[in-house]
Amino acid sequence: MSTRLDEILIQNGLSEAEVRGRMARGRVNRARLPTSRTLWQIVSTHVFTRFNALLGALWVIVMLVGSWKDALFGWILVVNAAIGIAQELRSKRTLDRLALQSAARPRVVRDGRVIEIAREDIVQDDVLELVAGDPVFVDCVVLQSSGLELDESLLSGESEAVARQSGEVLRSGSLVIGGNCRCRATAVGEAAWIYHLEQQARRFSLAHSELRAGINRILQVVGWTLIPTAALLFVTQFALGLHADAALLYGAAGVIAMVPQGLVLLTSLALAVGAVRLSRRRALVQDLAATEALARIDVICLDKTGTLTERELHVERIEMLIVEGTARVALAALAAAEPHPNATLQAIAREWPAQPDGPTVLQSVTFSSARKWSGAVIDQLGTWVLGAPDVLLAQRPPGDTVLVRADALASEGFRVLLLARAGADLVAEMRPVDVDPVALILLSEQIRDDARATLQELERQGIGIRLISGDHPATVSGVARRLNIAGAEQAVDAAKLDDAELAELARTRTVFARTTPQQKELIISTLRSAGHAVAMVGDGVNDIPALKRADVGVAMGAGVPASRAVAQLVLLDNRFANMPAIMAEGRRVLGNIERVAVLFLTKSVYAMLLALAVGVAGVAFPFLPRHISLVDALTIGIPAFLLSLEPNGQRLQPGFVNRVLRFAIPAGLFVAAAVFAAFALMGAQWGAALPEARTAATLVLFITALWVLVLAATPLRPLRALLVTGMIVLFVLTLLVPELRTFFALQTLPVLAWVECTAIAAASMVALHWSRAVAVNLPQGRARNRRWTRTELLQWLVGADSPKVFLIISALLVVGGAWLFFGTLEDVVSNDPLVFLDGRVFQLLQGLRNTTADHVMVAVTELGDATVLLPLILAALAWFIVRGLWLTAAYWLGAVGVAQLLAEVIKLVMHRPRPLPLYAGVEQFSFPSGHAVMSTVVYGLLAWLLLRRAAPKWQRIGGGGVIALIAAIAFSRVYLGAHWFSDVLGGLSFGVAWIALVALTYSYHCRERLHERGLAALLLGVFAVAAITHIAMAHHRDMYRYSAADVSHPRSKEAQTGRDANSP
């Protein structure tokens, strides 16, 4: 009964009423996957980024506590996201339009008629008619078939054709490669296998981007340092007596400059401009980072058909093996007998079309890629077969003359078919017997006119070529020879190799034949693992795994929709000849971005160092956000964008971030030093107000940043010189036009102040020029540092080579220092006996004071001032950076910055007044002693770094001298009445515990060589100059500040308890 129902269903299909009923119940194929990413996916990708999170949070803070004039940087958020979204939306519209134009339309039987419908209109139980070349749209069961064979490689990974009979299940995602059938849909929509397959296959993956990864790494570092830096700036500014809103604003100004916002925007703009230029060459960029990836490509893998050759085959000639007058008639009949001819039979049909009065085909076996032959029993002509010579003549010995001739012709690049008579009826599952060769049919794929020149241009650019095809090795080798591809004579037959053998050959060979989709992917993976940047050009379903695996997937516009969906670049006009120009565009964009990236990262470096200097020195931040926006626009933003549009044909090499940092970090250090020197000079020498000091800092920042621009733009050709001149003119106009000067909060300065600022800037320019020369030949001082793994850490702690004495001493110092610090803190909080001792010590030392001792103690205490410590901090940092000791530099910055931050925060929390009212702001608070903390950290950590590998004699001399210096500075603070005894004790214990902890982690983590002798000489020289200069300039003022107090009427309550009665 069921057989009868199936026969009726085969003939009539569903009625319209049955179709409507199933649609009403939702049993319809409406789970069509998008051909590109959804609008929400595109928007969320470009909005929810680390960059937007960092800058967005800062923008909110500035808008809440400051002026909109200081929030001008916020537009970068909008423009940056808009560029990426607009580019992807443009790609989405183009892809969707292409998919609509090229989407296959299934044929179904309804009401006894075969009609074409949209894929999503298939309903459950629909009867589909499938022929060779059709995809299986939904899961179904075969009702009737004839020679049905499927390619199920996307389902099982097996490349062999699979025969299916009536009653068997067909899974969606298969491809009919032979025969035909009618089948009934059993699973549609999300229930179909194709839904899960395409959900994975069409998943768009962004191109690997070293630039994007590098920027994200930089943003990650900035993000980690931003919070403690912002906290340090806020505490410092708040300690100066500023309102909390103003302190937040200036803190935000410092960390805003740390974010390389312009680099992110410029990258998006340059990539977007590159995408527009590529679109003029009919190349659609789906992912902006693909433009960068193109600049790194050094190997390009090509499918043969449709890329290097035309899709249409042509019959070159027929080579008769025997005299047979009916051969051409038989060929015409064989081609006409195929209901759905492939490209080969279509070429034969064009050459020998069937005649109206031609012979009748009595029986036929359709062509199958698995069988590699087709045949027919022709009325009055007998049985004829057409197929691959090596298949039809498989029983003949290897030296057979027909096989030898066929191989020779195939090696010339021809696709060779054998026309032969067969001695019996044909059975699809069996190879024909008694085969009598009649003729060899020679077909060729027409090589594109521009293919050879295109490959030559790619090779000229240093790009390796890999030809990967599924055709016969001889055919592929012949095409490769005609295209002058290196290694054409050594075509690899992938069908004879396992994965390990193919992977080994993939490293050295260039031409591959009989490859499956999985083998194409393996070749790509092997090349990438060997360090190559690989592009894959393909257009078929079998190319999808390789397209996804490559650094850049390039799909042809005429390819299948799924291949276009996963590719990062689509050649809309199917012209591979555009690839050299497309890759040159990628190199132009990325080469220029690397050239100007030093501008942005230099800014990030000097902003971070300025924030640290401000925190250590305890002074106001030298800029408002609008000052930074002005200098950014004139020395970075506008010039960098214009420079990014210049030609640049150099292939991008790995290590982009390291190359840029080798120049940017030293340059940022010198810029920060010049700015801070000008800012401090205006306050110390001229007694200038804060606005005037900020104006001087802005002037020096502009000059030094402009010189960084000049170095980045070298050689300074006329257009570049004009650009630099234009930026100078714009800055001068800003200073001269009252409205602009007021808007940017700039003040007029004395003439001599202008001269001094210019001199400082000139000195910095000399240092910048030197640092650029050093960056080119920067020694690679980095060793392989240890990773934080449990195994390595345990080995270091308890292994045979463990530094056990150092570990014990360091642990005792950490624990002992922390115990003493927190014990002192508890005594101060609870007014324990130590506090009463403070008052006694204070009165005793004040009673012993005399002029000579005061001069000595003031000079000693000045050795712990920020004016002496800061040059040492910067000099050590400069040494680490110039030597390429990045991890040591990071530890040094962290040790100093965290110590200063914690000391300031504890002062604010404790609110303990000093014995004498010597300072204002947070510096009026006493616990712990900042001089004791920072002297211990700076001098102590430097001494440990310099002496840890020295001879014991020098360790005793150097260590003793540093301990004596720290102790003298600590004693001077108590002697001069700047601190209570417990303040100094707490500061020393805190500093000892902190540097012991830093030394522990550094000893395990870092293996860099510091070149201690050179560093020691540099630091001693800087210390001598800074100390002598500072004492000479500040000693008279400090003698007045620390003049002896009248303790005959002390603040008795304060002296006894160390607390201000009015403190909270």
**Quick one: pLDDT at residue 1049?**
41
Higher pLDDT, 317 or 51: 317
The reported pLDDT for the residue numbered 225 is 72
Q: Is 888's pLDDT higher than 70?
A: yes
Residue 929 has pLDDT above 80, yes or no: yes
CA distance 616 to 232: 9
855: its two tokens: 């001069």
- pLDDT confidence of residue 797: 77
Q: CA 1 to CA 892: how far, in whole Å?
A: 87
The CATH number covering residue 543 comes to: 3.40.50.1000
Query: Tokens representing 898?
Result: 């965290």
CB of 253 closer than 8 Å to CB of 621: yes
Whether residue 283 has pLDDT greater than 80: no
Q: What is the pLDDT of residue 875?
A: 84
pLDDT digits (tens, 9 = 90+) for 727-736: 889 988 988 8
* The pLDDT of residue 76 is above 90: no
Which domain CATH number covers 655? 1.20.1110.10
Output the pLDDT for position 462: 82
Shared domain for 28 and 122, answered yes or no, is yes
When mean pLDDT is compared across 136-150, 656-670, 768-782, the lowest value belongs to 768-782
| pLDDT interval class at 1057 (50, 70, 90) | very low
Q: Based on the domain organization, do 517 and 629 belong to the same domain?
A: no
Where is 438: in which H helix or E strand? Answer: strand 436-447
Q: Is residue 170 part of a domain?
A: yes
Per-residue model confidence (pLDDT) at position 1050: 43
For residue 680, how many other CB atoms are within 10 A of its CB? 20
> Domain ends where: 164, 183, 201?
201
Better-scored residue on pLDDT, 274 or 410: 410
Report residue 122's pLDDT band, with 50, 70 and 90 as the boundaries.
very high
Confidence class for position 543, pLDDT limits 50, 70, 90: confident
Mean pLDDT of 389-416: 86
Active-site positions read 303
Q: Is residue 19 very low, low, confident or very high in pLDDT (cuts 50, 70, 90)?
A: very high
7: CATH? 2.70.150.10
Please write the tens of the pLDDT for every residue from 440-476.
999 887 777 788 888 888 888 788 899 888 777 877 8
Q: String of b and e for 186-212 (b: at least 16 CB within 10 Å)?
A: ebbbebbbbbebbeebbebeebbbbbb
Q: Give residue 1063's pLDDT band: very low, low, confident or very high (50, 70, 90).
A: very low
CA separation for the pair 529, 504 (Å, rounded) = 12
Tokens at residue 605, please? 């470096």
Lowest-pLDDT range of 81-90, 122-131, 557-566: 81-90
What would the mean pLDDT of 528-544 be, rounded to a whole number?
Answer: 81
Residue with tokens 């002037």: 699
**Three-state secondary structure of 136-150:** CCCEEEEEEEEEEEE
Task: Say which range, 597-611, 721-735, 964-978, has the weakest mean pLDDT.
Answer: 597-611
Domain-terminating residue out of 447, 478, 498: 447
In the prediction, which pLDDT does 417 show?
A: 92
Confidence of residue 208 (pLDDT cuts 50, 70, 90): low
pLDDT at 391: 86
Reported confidence tier of residue 1064, pLDDT bands at 50, 70, 90: very low
Q: Quick one: 563 and 592 in the same domain?
A: no
Which pLDDT value is given to residue 789?
A: 75
Write out the H or E segment, with its range, that includes residue 221.
helix 210-239
Say if CB 1058 and CB 830 are below 8 A apart.
no
Average pLDDT value for residue range 961-970: 91
Q: CA 899, CA 990: separation in Å to the nearest integer?
A: 9
pLDDT for res 205: 46
Residue 582 placed within a domain: no
Q: Answer whether residue 721 shows pLDDT above 70.
A: yes
Query: Percent of the chain at pLDDT above 90?
Result: 8
Contact 946, 1012 (CB under 8 A): yes
123, containing H or E segment: none
Separation CA 987–CA 982 (nearest Å):
8
pLDDT average, residue stretch 71-89: 63
Same domain, 528 and 648: no
513 and 378 inside one domain: no
Q: Is the pLDDT of residue 654 over 70?
A: no
Task: Return the minimum-mean-pLDDT range out of 13-22, 168-177, 245-254, 368-377.
Answer: 245-254
Nearest to 31 by CA among 155, 200, 196: 196
Phi, psi of 417 (to 5 degrees): -120, 150
DSSP letter (8 states) at residue 929: P
Please check the confidence at residue 1048 and state whether its pLDDT lies above 50. no
132 and 342 in contact (C-beta within 8 Å)?
A: yes
pLDDT digits (tens, 9 = 90+) for 512-521: 988 877 788 8
Is pLDDT of 314 > 90?
no
Closest by alpha carbon to 899, among 874, 947, 944, 935? 935
How much is the mean pLDDT over the chain?
78
The yes-or-no verdict on residue 666 having pLDDT over 50 is yes
DSSP 141: E
Q: 580, 651 in Cβ contact below 8 A?
A: no
Asked whether residue 1047 carries a pLDDT value surpassing 60, the answer given is no
Which pLDDT band, with edges at 50, 70 and 90, does 126 fall under?
very high
Give the contacts of 275 (CB within 8 A, at least 6 positions apart): 87, 285, 288, 291
Asked whether residue 766 is assigned to any structural domain, the reply reads no
- Residue 390 in this model has a pLDDT that exceeds 60: yes
> Which residue has better confidence, 671 or 71?
671
Where in the sequence is the domain holding 51, given as residue range(s)?
2-201
Q: Are 303 and 441 in contact (CB under 8 A)?
A: no
pLDDT in tens, 727-785: 889 988 988 888 888 888 888 877 777 887 888 888 888 877 776 665 555 544 455 67
How many CB atoms are closer than 10 A to CB 26?
Answer: 11
Whether 967 and 1024 share a structural domain = yes
Q: How far apart are CA 13 and CA 9, in angstroms?
A: 5
Q: Domain check: are 149 and 133 in the same one?
A: yes
The predicted pLDDT at position 964 comes to: 92
d(CA 446, CA 310): 5
Over residues 649-669, mean pLDDT: 69
Question: Kindly report the CA angle at 601 between 597 and 603, in degrees rounded to 5?
Answer: 120
Residue at which a domain ends, from 574, 597, 619: 574
User: Residue 176 pairs with which residues in a beta bridge?
Assistant: 150
Residues 320-330, mean pLDDT to the nearest whole number: 89
Per-residue pLDDT reduced to its tens digit, 166-192 = 889 998 877 787 778 999 999 988 888
Percentage, residues of the chain above pLDDT 70: 77
Kindly state whether residues 849 and 798 are assigned to the same domain. Answer: yes
- pLDDT, residue 439, reads 94
Same domain, 850 and 990: yes
Where does residue 95 rank: exposed (0-12), middle (13-18), buried (19+ CB within 10 A)? Answer: buried
Residue 271 lies in a domain: yes
Domain contains 763 = no
Do residues 816 and 884 share a domain?
Answer: yes
Q: Is residue 506 in some structural domain?
A: yes
- Its pTM surpasses 0.85: no
| Whether residue 8 is found in the same domain as residue 99 | yes
For 483-624, strand residue ranges (E) read: 492-493, 511-513, 534-538, 552-556, 569-571
Least reliable range by pLDDT among 150-164, 371-385, 596-610, 988-1002: 150-164
**Most confident among 332-341, 386-395, 571-580, 653-662 (mean pLDDT):** 386-395
The DSSP line for 408-422 is HHHHTT-EEEEEEEE
Q: Which of 69-78, 526-535, 835-844, 914-923 has the highest mean pLDDT?
A: 526-535
Nearest to 697 by CA among 616, 573, 614: 614
Q: Are residues 463 and 564 in the same domain?
A: yes
285, part of any domain: no
Cα angle, residue 741 at apex, residues 740 and 746 outer, rounded to 5°: 145
- Tell me which amino acid residue 633 is: A
Q: Is-contact 149 367, C-beta < 8 A? A: no
602 with 671: CB under 8 angstroms? yes
SS (H, E, C) 999-1038: HHHHHHHCCCCCCHHHHHHHHHHHHHHHHHHHHHHHHHHH
Q: Kindly report the number of other CB atoms within 10 A of residue 57's CB atom.
A: 14
**How many separate domains does the chain show?**
5
C-beta of residue 415 within 8 angstroms of C-beta of residue 313: yes
End-to-end CA distance of the chain: 97
DSSP result, 570-621 = EETT--GGGHHHHHHHHHHHHHHHHHHHHHHHHHHHHHHHHHHHHHHHT---
Q: Is residue 280 part of a domain?
A: no
Distance CA 873, CA 1022 (A): 10
